[in-house]
A and B are shown apart, each in its own frame.
Chain A
Amino acid sequence: MIQFSHVFKRYPGGFDALKDVSLELARGEMAFVTGHSGAGKSTLLRLIALIERPTRGQALVNSRNLARVPRRRIPHFRRELGIVFQDYRLLSDRTVYDNVALPLIVTGTDRREIPRRVRAALDKAGLLEKERMYPVTLSGGEQQRVGIARAVVHRPPLLLADEPTGNLDAQLSDEILELFLDFHRHGTTVLIATHDQRLIERARARVLHLKHGELVRDTGASA
């Protein structure tokens, strides 16, 4: 699903956030990216989502060469991913339902199909009762579950999460982790950036360890 070979990322200003990173993540695999703050975890995910472009090296995602995706094709490329953020990135002036429906609306999904799909995603995230509420009226854990429902509503083959539990306490983090494990069991490829060691230990999945932009440890395929 993801193949990086000798990928470098230098930000404007000259800072090397990723140096010579090579890795491979098979379809259906689950892995964590970890490392100290500033190690390059977010940068790695942003390259995969084409929010940033690699400076050097070859990166394939979903068998597409990232260097060969033109600007105007980026939206279509992103429709095959689901992305979860630490700060949820929900639209505050829309209901939970409308937030989750957004990826379906932008892709022009048949409008009779939308309610069914949105409710399936909300059901999975345990939010069926809250569909008419606005994000600000929800707790942090609930907001993150809305973010996850939005990330999976269009059933992407690849799910990316950048510090998804960064703002949550241990119990809520475990609930979120359960959701990711469940998607993984259903065949979704999952890549989670986190520095939460407890979470990684509980998941017992593959770990990619970054240090100052270099991949220093890879535990290999998951247990």
Chain B
Amino acid sequence: MREYFYRHLQAFFSILGRLARAPLATTATVAVIGITLALPCGLYLVVDNARRLSSGWEGAGQISLFLKREVGEAAAGRLAERLRALPAVAKVEHITREAALAEFKRLSGFGEALDALGRNPLPAVLVVHPATTHSGAATLEALVRELAGLREVDLAQLDLEWVRRLHGWLAIVERGMWLLAGLLGAAVLLIVGNTIRLAVLSRREEIEVVKLVGGTDAFIRRPFLYQGLIQGFMGAVLAWLLLQLSLWALAGPIRELADLYGSGFGPAGLGLDATALLLGAGAGLGWLGSRLAVGWHLRAIEPR
């Protein structure tokens, strides 16, 4: 058992030495693997951050209650008080008819036309912010139905449709990300396989001699498997660094944009789980690509 462990260790370090002696080829392979792995991970970050950002919006999904014309300001105020007491409601803004008109004038530029109308055509509005504990889609819809049924309410409107559409898009992009990850994973297999193929062919003499003195296929495979594993792992580390670098470069502009929207949003990097998955996938793909290539090419090398 000790011997076995020692032999693995020896193969591992002899490969590290081999890789270090060919820094250019090693760097090129690792760079290609790194960029290939970084692509799906980058897409993952986009989806993940978009989802985190929009889940903030979903919580803020607000309900606008347009009150009936005959409801007076005092009655509207009382209704607002009643709604505030509901557990599903966090906050209620009361926009009086005058305030609504003033805002409409300011934003639309139709001020004079409205003045010509002589009377205020706008209803009073209560903007209901649901409590975060009640922000699920089903709960919200139930709340909307309840509010729409109130005597004073003309129309209840949930401003959530676009968030839902965004989520639909995100689901599509996420599926695309997994497809891309699969394709690029296969690409990593091919890259590693090709590198290992060259390594095997360049050590043909040595392999023949090792076979002649009684080396098993497993013995001959071992260093190549480590080579694939190490290169795949290093590629994954590089992918991680590339992602961190991109995040770092984008963090400034994103934060500025978020500030404009009055949001404290900042982009998140790969979490612990995703990082472990990336590193594991890199090492695993490297090992597998090497195993396939070595298995294939070793058979063709028989001593003369």
Contact = CB atoms under 8 A, between A and B. Distances in A.
Given A51-B304, A91-B205, A102 B3 contact: no
Interface string B196-229: 0000000001101111111111010000000000
Interface in B15-29: none
A72 interface: yes
A102 to B, nearest CB: 6
B217 A91 contact: no
A89 B214 contact: no
A108 B205 contact: no
A103 B3 contact: no
A75 B214 contact: yes
Contact of B215 (A49, A83, A106, A111): A106
A91 B209 CA distance: 8
A91 B217 CA distance: 18
A102 B3 CA distance: 15
Interface string A67-110: 00000100111110001000001010000000000110011101
A9 interface: no
Interface residues of A, number: 19
A91 B303 CA distance: 14
Given A91-B205, A106-B219, A110-B3, A150 B302 contact: no
B261 interface: no
Contacts of A72: 216-217
Contacts of B211: 75, 78
Interface residues of B, number: 20
Q: Is the interface of B mostly helix, strand, loop or mixed?
A: helix
A49 B208 CA distance: 13
A89 B6 contact: no
B7 interface: yes
Nearest to B210: A106
Contact of B210 (A83, A102, A108, A110): A102
B63 to A, nearest CB: 72
A72 B6 CA distance: 24
A83 B212 contact: yes
Contacts of B4: 108
A91 B213 CA distance: 12
B209 A111 contact: no
B213 A102 contact: yes
Contacts of B215: 75, 106
A108 B302 CA distance: 22
B19 to A, nearest CB: 15
Contacts of B303: 51
A106 B3 CA distance: 12
Interface of A: 49, 51, 72, 75-79, 83, 89, 91, 102-103, 106-108, 110-111, 150
7 contacts: A51-B304, A75-B216, A78-B212, A103-B213, A106-B215, A110-B3, A111-B6
Given A89-B205, A103-B213, A108-B3, 16 more contacts: A51-B304, A72-B217, A75-B217, A76-B214, A76-B216, A78-B211, A78-B213, A83-B212, A89-B208, A89-B212, A91-B205, A106-B210, A106-B214, A106-B216, A110-B3, A150-B213
Closest 10 CB pairs of A and B: A106-B215, A79-B214, A103-B213, A78-B214, A75-B216, A75-B214, A89-B209, A106-B219, A51-B303, A102-B213
